[in-house]
């Protein structure tokens, strides 16, 4: 049984169907990426798993339990943490205060100051600036803070929405280097990433979402040497399906 099962899920915003009968899965300790053009419905999938977007049809199961329709708070306490697009840190709070907000989602055990210290220790710049206002951080530092806030809850499943968005290439390298370390430690991850080559480098498996439908699944290893075709994902004329077709 997969750790996360997203089974025949449809999601609508009024009369607009954003996701149509989508099915995907994530195994424990696996890194899976969801790729596709802007507006394909990738963020909507993550929001549905996190409970912030209502599911019209289908079922979402986590660790064998049906979590469809549960509140975001209950889902977070079951061990699912979302790092949203745009980071959404609280600029008027300190770095440490932002991290402490993540303690509310701890699914088990009493949170302590040591937990905050441990997570901040993973990000040297945040540790050094733990008393500074979060709004004074650079974009890359704010992305690190958003990750730290999620990790302090010790999530069983980490949902990442466009972690490279708006960052300089050097900072993107740093973010994915850290994400790679999490992957090596066994962290289960579902990644939404506009930078498809980065997603291919990072993930074990990938799904291609097109106009709200998951149309292909592939092992990342199957895409090695085919990065020249990644641009087809964003042409929007149907040729993107070729990238994930077997050769």
pLDDT digits (tens, 9 = 90+) for 214-239: 988 888 888 776 656 555 554 444 44
pLDDT of residue 218: 87
pLDDT in tens, 111-160: 567 888 888 888 889 999 999 999 999 888 888 898 889 888 889 999 99
Q: Report the candidate in 84, 88, 86, 91 with the shortest Cα–Cα distance to residue 137.
A: 91
Residue-wise DSSP of 163-190: TTTT--HHHHHHHHHHHHHHHHTT-EEE
Task: Bin 51: left if φ > 0, else alpha if -120 < ψ < 50, else beta.
Answer: left
**CATH number at 4-79+156-244:** 3.40.50.300
Residues 6+ apart with CB under 8 A from 247: 226
Domain boundaries, the chain: 4-79+156-244, 84-145
130: which DSSP letter?
T
Mean of pLDDT values over 158-164: 91
pLDDT of residue 238: 44
């Amino acid at each position: 049984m997969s750790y996360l099962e997203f089974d025949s899920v449809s999601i609508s915003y009024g009369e607009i169907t954003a996701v149509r009968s989508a099915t995907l899965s994530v195994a424990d300790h696996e890194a899976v990426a969801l790729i596709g053009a802007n507006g394909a419905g990738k963020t909507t999938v993550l929001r549905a798993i996190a409970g912030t977007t209502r599911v019209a049809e289908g079922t979402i199961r986590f660790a064998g339990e049906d979590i469809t329709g549960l509140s975001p708070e209950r889902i977070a306490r079951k061990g699912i943490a979302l790092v949203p697009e745009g980071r959404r840190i609280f600029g008027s709070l300190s770095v440490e205060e932002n991290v402490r907000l993540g303690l509310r989602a701890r699914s088990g055990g009493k949170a302590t100051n040591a937990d905050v210290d441990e997570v901040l220790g993973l990000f040297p710049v945040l540790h050094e600036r733990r008393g500074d206002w979060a709004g004074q951080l650079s974009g890359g530092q704010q992305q690190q803070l958003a990750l730290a806030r999620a990790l302090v809850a010790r999530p069983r499943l980490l949902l990442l929405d466009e972690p490279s968005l708006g960052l300089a290439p050097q900072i993107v390298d740093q973010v994915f280097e850290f994400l790679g370390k999490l992957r090596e430690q066994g962290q289960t991850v579902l990644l939404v990433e506009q930078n498809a080559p980065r997603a291919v480098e990072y993930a074990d498996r990938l799904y291609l979402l097109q106009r709200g439908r998951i149309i292909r699944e592939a092992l990342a290893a199957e895409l090695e040497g085919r990065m020249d075709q990644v641009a087809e994902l964003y042409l929007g004329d149907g040729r993107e399906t070729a990238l994930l077709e077997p050769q």
